[in-house]
Amino acid sequence: MVTSDRFADTAVLLTGAGSGIGRATALRLVAEGAAVFAVDANEAGLAGTVDGASGPGRIVAYVVDVSDEPAVVAAVDGAVTELGKLDVLVNVAGIHRTTPIERLTVEDLRALFDVNVVGTALFCREALEHLPEGGVIVNTASSSASHGNPFMTAYSATKGAVLAFSLSLASEVIGRGIRVLVVSPGSTTTPLTAGVRLGGLDARYYSRIASPMGAGRPEQIAATIAFAASRDASYLTGVDLRVDGGSHI
């Protein structure tokens, strides 16, 4: 288990903390001394994350639908009240759907954009009222934001939007001494991707998605998120850190 004091006296608001990459990130940050305000729509998932956390930091769970604007406002206010301040925002919350273009619906588009894009943007907007000089935002996109994958038109569009939003936000707030970075995982073994089905594709399509190093683990992505949010990355902003095991070399 990784332990250090890299995030001692650091207050972090983390979305999507109930499973997968979000849970791994919460555990990593607590192990390194952070006070983490962990949000997710899944109350049971959050409870599992809290139970698994150990280290010099601490964790507080808060149930919220990231696409609900009043709920997001309340969540950020709650984080500041509970932690006493806010130094870092990490957006991991997201949903995934794979749909052949012939079956793509407006409901698919709205659901994906509401969670993946609107949720990310709302938390950024609200957190920026509290982040000090030296504050950090880390948004999670995907390697699908910049590389094509079959049946992922809508999902990829949302992650491309997160990437574009984040790069422009980095430019907007750099004068305030706030860094904004993107972490873009490739294929990662999580509950989110466990339901992804790509049946009927031939080998050349699978090769676009599979990594030469195999599927990533949530802990590997969490390590990159922790780096991006830490002082070790103090000279990085407005960049996309693609963590995909060489799938797009």
> Would you name the residues annotated as active-site residues?
155
Is residue 76 within 8 Å of 62, Cβ to Cβ?
Answer: no
Task: Give φ, ψ of 31 to 5 degrees.
Answer: -65, -25
Answer for the pair 159, 95: CB distance below 8 angstroms, yes or no. Answer: no
**DSSP per residue, 44-82:** HHHHHHHHH--SSSEEEEEE--TT-HHHHHHHHHHHHHH
Cα–Cα distance, 109 to 84 (Å, whole number)? 37
Question: Within 10 Å of residue 239's Cβ, how many Cβ atoms?
Answer: 16
